[in-house]
Amino acid sequence: MQTDIEHIREIETALHHGSETRDPVVVQSWLRCLKKHGLDPAARGEAYILPDAALRQHRQRSEDLIRIARSGIDDLYKLVAGQNYVLLLADAAGVTVEYLGEETQKDALRRSGLYLGAEWSEARAGTCALGACIETGEPLIIHQSDHFDISHTGLSCTAAPIYDTAGQLAAVLDISLLSSPLIRTSQSLALNLVRQTARRIEMANIMAESRTDWVLRLAGSPDFLDVDPEAALRLDEGGRVIGMTNGAARLMARSLGEDWRRGASLIGRPIEEIFNLDCSGLERLTRQHEARDRLIETRDGYRLFAHAIEPRRALVTHTVPAPRLTAELSELAGTDTVMQEVVGQAMVLARSDMPMLIEGPCGSGKSALARAIHAAGRRGPLITVACETITGEEAAVLFGRGELRSYEPGLISAADHGTLVLDNPEQLPAALRARLASLLVTRRFRPIGAMRERESSARIIVTSRGLGANGAPREEFHHRLAATRLVLPGLSARQDIMAIARKLFTAAFGSGVTFDLPAAALLTGHKWEGNLHEMEALARSIAATGGLVADKLLIGAEHFPAHMRGQGGDAGPGSAAMLSHLLAENGWNISAVAALLQVDRATVHRRMARLGLKRQAKPVARRVNR
C-alpha cells in the first residue's frame, strides 16, 4: 500500500516523465486533473453532496432514464449484494441520481461520497471511475491508488457509460467498494457486470422508443440473438437510422470509417451504407426464420446475426387537424416526411412566445426556418446575431450598456416585440453563455455596467449545429430548450432532393431545368456534406461553365464535376429520393415507373409502402399579411 507522500510523488513524476506501471487511462486522467482542472494532488478533497433542491433538478432531468434503468440496476445489485458493493447511477454531469448500498454503511458511504447527490466529475473529484468514464466514454476500473485525490485511495470503483439513442452520453453506471482486495484484476468481473448492465439498459431504452419503427438487433452468435443481443438500430420506414445503442454506433462507425463519438453524423444514414442489406431484406430477418439463417455482413466484411422487429401499428381513433402552414413554411417542408413533421411542429410553436432551438448540420436551412417562424408569428423586427463574431469584450453589443441615468440598448433590446436569432451561441465565451441561458428562462437580462435587470419581449430562437467543444450539445441551451427543439435532416437524408435541386438550378440558370436519369442518380447518390450550400455552389458552377443552350436546359451527368461522376450514384429503387423523383417526373404513373425500373407494378407499390412514399395533395398555404 502506497503512503500519501509516495502517491503524490508518483503523480508528479507522471506529469514530467509518464508512467510505465500505471494504466494509460489512469495517467491521462492524472494529467487532465493537473493541466485541465488545476487540481493539487497534495490536497484532500471532501465529498461534495448537492443541496436537495439541486439534486431534485438533476433527478427530474434523469427521470425517464432512472425508470428504464431501474430493473437493470436492481438485478445488478442483487448479484453483488452481501459483498459491500455500492451501486451508483450518475448523470452526464457526474451527479449521482440513484444509489443502492448497505444501510449499515450509510454514514461511511456518505462521508466518502458514495451516496445519492454526490458529484464525481473529474473536475470536482479528480481521477475516479465516474469522472474518467465521462471524459473517455469507455468502461474502466479506477482501483485504490489509481485515484488522484489521496482521500479516495482506499476505494475501488468500476464504471461503464450509458448512451442515449442519438449517440450522446446520458449516464454512467458505477459499482464501488469502500475497501477492496489489493489486486486490481479482482475488479475484472465487476467491469463485465457493469458493462453488460449498461448494454441492457441501452437496449431497453431503444425498445421503449421504437414501438412504431423497425428495430434491427445484432449479435455475433445466433444462440442469444433473440433474448440478449449485443447491439440494436432503430430504423424509419425508409431504412434510415434514427436511433442506436452504443454497440451499434461503434459498428456503424467502423464500417463507415467515422468516429463513433460523433453520433449526429451516424443518424440518418441509410441501412444500405452499413450492411449488404436494404429495407426489402428486413422481413427475412424476423423470428419467422431460424436465427442461424439470419446472417448479414457489414460493408467492411464483419458478419453478424440479425433479428428484425416490425413496427407496431397503432390504432388511430381520431385525428386533430394540423394548423395550416404559411407559404414560407410550406415551401421549406417540401415533400420529405421528416421535414414536413419538423415544419408542422414549427408552425405550432410559431404561435407561442416560447424560446426555441433549431439544430442541424451546416447548410441544412436553420436560418431559413427561423425566418419562416418569425414571419408566421406576425412579430416585429427580426435580429440575427452571429455569436461566433462576438468576444467577451463586446458583450455590450448583445446586452447593451447601462449607466446611472442612461441606457445604450444592445441587440437584445433591438429585438423587442420581434424575434432574436442567436446563431451558434455555443461559440460564445462561457460568461456570455451563462447570461444568455438566464435570459432564456427568466426573459430578463442585465446590461453591462447596470445595477438593475431589464425585461425582454423578444422571442428567442437558437440555431446550432448541435455540437459543443466535446462533441455534445451545450447543456446551458440544450436542456433548457429540449421541449421546443427542432432537428433538421441533412440534404442527403431527404426524399425530395430532386425537387430541391430543380429549384436551386432554376434559380442559378434563370429558367426551368430538367435532369436526365444519370444526372438524377448523381444528385440522389451524393453525400452532400455541405448540404444546401454545396448544392447551390454546384448549381452556380454548372450554370457558369456548363455550356448549356438556353432553350434546352437538360442537365446530364457530363455537366457535373469529375469527382462527382467518379463517385457514381444509386439510381436504383432502394433510394427513396430516386423513386420519389421518378414518380413525380411521371405524374405518379405507376406503370410508367415500373417500365423504367423493369419491374412489375406490385413491386413499385411495395417499395413505395416500405419507403413511406405517398402522393400528396397540393398544399394549401396561407399568406401572412404584413
User: Using one digit for the tens of pLDDT, what is the confidence trace for 390-407?
Assistant: 888 888 999 999 877 788
**Topology classification of domain 4-202:** Beta-Lactamase (3.30.450)
The mean pLDDT of 422-436, rounded to a whole number, is 88
Instruction: Give per-residue pLDDT as tens, 104-143.
Output: 888 899 999 999 999 999 999 999 999 999 999 999 999 9
Amino acid at 556: G
pTM for the structure as a whole: 0.53
Instruction: Give per-residue pLDDT as tens, 455-465.
Output: 999 999 999 88
Instruction: Answer yes or no: are the C-beta atoms of 178 and 155 closer than 8 Å.
Output: yes
Q: How confident is the model at residue 378 (pLDDT cuts 50, 70, 90)?
A: low
Q: How far apart are CA 81 and CA 65, in angstroms?
A: 23
Q: Which pLDDT score is estimated for 97?
A: 94
Which percentage of the chain shows pLDDT scores above 70?
Answer: 92
Which percentage of the chain shows pLDDT scores above 90?
Answer: 49
In the chain, domain spans = 4-202, 210-309, 327-489, 492-611
Q: What is the CATH number of domain 327-489?
A: 3.40.50.300
CA distance readout (Å), 427 to 71, 92, 389, 482: 40, 21, 9, 19
Q: How far apart are CA 160 and CA 147, in angstroms?
A: 17
Of the listed ranges 54-68, 187-201, 241-255, 306-320, the one predicted with least confidence: 306-320
The mean pLDDT of 497-519, rounded to a whole number, is 88
Instruction: Answer yes or no: are the C-beta atoms of 418 and 450 closer than 8 Å.
Output: no
Q: Which pLDDT score is estimated for 469?
A: 42
Q: How far apart are CA 410 and CA 390, in angstroms?
A: 13
Q: Which pLDDT score is estimated for 552?
A: 63
Q: Strands across the sheet with 295-297, in order?
A: 241-244, 231-235, 214-219, 303-309, 295-297
Q: Which pLDDT score is estimated for 474?
A: 57
Q: Which of 346, 253, 339 is nearest to 531 (CA)?
A: 339
Is the pLDDT reported for residue 529 higher than 80? Answer: yes
DSSP code of residue 484: G
Q: How confident is the model at residue 2 (pLDDT cuts 50, 70, 90)?
A: confident
Q: Which pLDDT score is estimated for 305?
A: 95
Mutual angle of helices 4-17 and 24-31, in 10-degree steps: 90
* Cell (9 digits) for 32: 487532465
Q: Which pLDDT score is estimated for 226?
A: 85
The mean pLDDT of 554-575, rounded to a whole number, is 71
Q: Find where cell 432537428 sits.
A: 487
The mean pLDDT of 63-70, rounded to a whole number, is 86
Q: What is the CATH number of domain 492-611?
A: 1.10.8.60
Q: Find where cell 417540401 sits.
A: 334
The per-residue b/e assignment along 544-565, b for 16 or more CB within 10 angstroms, e otherwise, is eebebeeeebebbbebbeeebe
CA distance readout (Å), 64 to 35, 145, 232, 466: 36, 35, 20, 22
Q: What is the mean pLDDT of the chain?
A: 86
Count of CA atoms in the C-beta half-sphere (13 A) of 204: 17
Mutual angle of helices 497-509 and 576-585, in 10-degree steps: 60
Q: Which of 567, 569, 615, 560 is nearest to 593 (CA)?
A: 615
Phi, psi of 550 (to 5 degrees): -60, -35
CA 185 to chain centre: 35
Q: How confident is the model at residue 181 (pLDDT cuts 50, 70, 90)?
A: confident
Q: Which pLDDT score is estimated for 571?
A: 42
Q: Which pLDDT score is estimated for 413?
A: 93
Q: Which pLDDT score is estimated for 570?
A: 46
The mean pLDDT of 543-566, rounded to a whole number, is 78
DSSP 52-78: HHHHHHHHHHTHHHHHHHHHHHHHHHH
Asked if domains 327-489 and 492-611 share a fold, the reply is no
Is the pLDDT reported for residue 263 higher than 50? Answer: yes
The mean pLDDT of 307-326, rounded to a whole number, is 71
Of the listed ranges 22-36, 272-286, 549-563, the one predicted with least confidence: 549-563
Instruction: Answer yes or no: are the C-beta atoms of 326 and 375 closer than 8 Å.
Output: yes
